[in-house]
Structure 1
Amino acid sequence: MKLRQTLFATAIACLASTAALAQTVSVFKDAGCGCCGAWVEHMRQNGFTVEASNISPEQMNALKAKAGITAATASCHTAFVEGYVIEGHVPAGDVARLIEEKPEAVGLSVPGMPIGSPGMEFGTPEAYQVLLMDRSGTTTVFAEH
């Protein structure tokens, strides 16, 4: 009986995790940016449905401003999932954790384009942080890689 309860609890946890990954991520990027395309593939390979749109730099700047992205949190592409903003090369696992935990926040950001982050897998990887952006404009560390 105990084994059956454990298996049932594990199955429920897996279904909840899969449900989070079934969400559609809407990505806005520059058509010529290869690292953005690589991040889109990273998300797809990790179970997310991704809709990618190429937009002009002017449209991107307006989108980022409207989403609350600042110079300190900006990267090359901006995505949206479950009401959250995902800025830059955020790992799929961190996006899944955000969706699961549902914090009061604007979303996640990996500022800049750190080598070794998803979509930037070339050269010598560097340590980087995933920042949780709150509505007041401040950030806290959500994860370190």
Structure 2
Amino acid sequence: MTCTEAYKEHIEYTFNAFCRVVIRYAAINAWRDRSRRRQKEISLEYLTEEKFYPLGTTDEYFEAPYEEYPITVCGQTVILTNGELAAALLSLPEKNREIIFLYFFGHYTQQEIGEMYGRCRSATGYQIRRTLRLLQREMEVLSHGKSEPFTL
């Protein structure tokens, strides 16, 4: 079926009318949204000049200075902000403290730490895991206020 020239023109006018309606209602919706938003907005000048609100706030977390707990390991001082962690680290044997310091603060590999202490990599990894378990137990004891000794 072939389309006549008049039919093609009718389709074009219908499509144009549809597009005009869609664009008109989109513009009306945009105008309504903008006016609703303006009704809810409060100007910055109103907040700062008339009400004298401060432009910034501070949190007590940042105002209070941290308590610092310095610990010396391997001739270097590490400053911790957690008192329980500092106390738990100080309760560990010196060798365990050194291994933890080298691994977590010195960023040495297990292989390098093992070479320093004359052990293989797997033995050093076991020592690190064991020391972390000891540290966890000690922190649990300190947080619960118990004075039970722990064993290896």
Normalised by the size of structure 1, how large is the TM-score? Answer: 0.26
Compare relative contact order (CA 8 Å, sep 6+) and give the higher one, 1 or 2.
1
Normalised by the size of structure 2, how large is the TM-score? Answer: 0.25
Could you say which structure has the higher helix fraction? 2
Could you say which structure has the higher strand fraction? 1
Q: Which has the larger radius of gyration?
A: 2
